[in-house]
Amino acid sequence: MIKIIDLFHAKVFSEKNIKNFEKLILYFAVGGFLIHLVLVFLNLKYNINYFVGLDNLLSNPISALYTPFSFILVYEAFLLIFYFPRSFTTSIAKEYEIISLVLIRKIFEDIPELNLDSGIYNQQSLLLLYDLIAIIIIFYLIFLFKKTISTIPKRKPNKNLVRFISYKKTLSIILLPLLLILCISNLFDWTYSVFINNEIVENINAVFFIDFFTVLILVDVFVLLISFQYTDKYHQIIRNTGFIISTILLRLSFSVSGISSILILIIGIIFGLIILRIYRLTELNSN
């Protein structure tokens, strides 16, 4: 059974399929960027805007970068699923990278709202400053997280580890079509809200990612439960549980806005980093 799962996983996530998906995302990103630029031009030139509540995304050509970044984030979500069987720490690091890119994408939405005529000390400029500072902090925390991963002693492969990885490969195969379903359903819901119901989407940055991180939390919990079958080491259980808490905090950051969202993000990543550092010390002392 393990060999069948390994072969199927290797076929689904083959180098050819990954390259094809990269090209597809590139085409969508370039096409979306050009379409967004056209919509910005129509809005500025002829005051044509069919997107309710999205004036800030159609008021400046810089905001057109928001669209290709959205496709890049979908690709990063795909890579998270691809790296998922490797290790818990690797997938968590990819989650942090996705969060940092979501924050960067938000800047392309915030820049057009800046009004420097009223001075630099206004709400819009302060929010942009908070986001820029948060990106630097999160970028550095991710660096520390990956550096810590590289210094953790590697475990030798055994039957339990191979079986555990096989379970995670099965989950990654299941997650792939689920990612596609989430993308399509969230796009449909957003389109229906904007074009049909003329509703204002309060937090467009949370579209797709609230559901995506909810699924990640459920999958992480499932992996934690499976791990009980293969390990009874306290520090490994605490590490996995701590990473789940960190993911929950990332998910909660989408439920709030402003400085509160940024603080929850940073606290979540710091919590995961501290958990990993303690786990590393335990592993070094146990060898």
Per DSSP, 187 falls in state H
Say what the pLDDT of residue 133 is. Answer: 92
Say what the pLDDT of residue 278 is. Answer: 95
Say what the pLDDT of residue 167 is. Answer: 86
Residue ranges in 192-258 assigned as alpha helix (H)? 209-227, 234-252
pLDDT in tens, 86-117: 888 989 999 999 999 998 988 887 777 666 55
Asked if 104 contacts 69 with a C-beta cutoff of 8 angstroms, the reply is: yes
Closest residue by Cα to residue 217 from 254, 243, 237: 243
User: What is the token pair recorded at 17?
Assistant: 């399929």
Say what the pLDDT of residue 100 is. Answer: 92
Residues 6+ apart with CB under 8 A from 196: none
Three-state SS at 282: helix
Say what the pLDDT of residue 195 is. Answer: 67
Cβ neighbours, 10 Å, residue 143: 10
pLDDT in tens, 155-170: 777 777 788 888 888 8
Cβ neighbours, 10 Å, residue 159: 9
Which pTM does this prediction carry?
A: 0.88
Burial of 241 (0-12, 13-18, 19+ CB in 10 A): middle
Say what the pLDDT of residue 281 is. Answer: 92
Long-range contacts of 75-84 (CB under 8 A, 24+ apart): 75/21, 75/22, 75/25, 76/101, 77/179, 77/212, 78/21, 78/176, 78/179, 80/216, 81/172, 81/175, 81/176, 81/179, 82/13, 82/18, 82/172, 84/168, 84/171, 84/172, 84/175, 84/219
Under-70 pLDDT residues of the chain? 48-56, 113-122, 194-195, 197-202, 287
* Rg, C-alpha atoms of the chain: 21
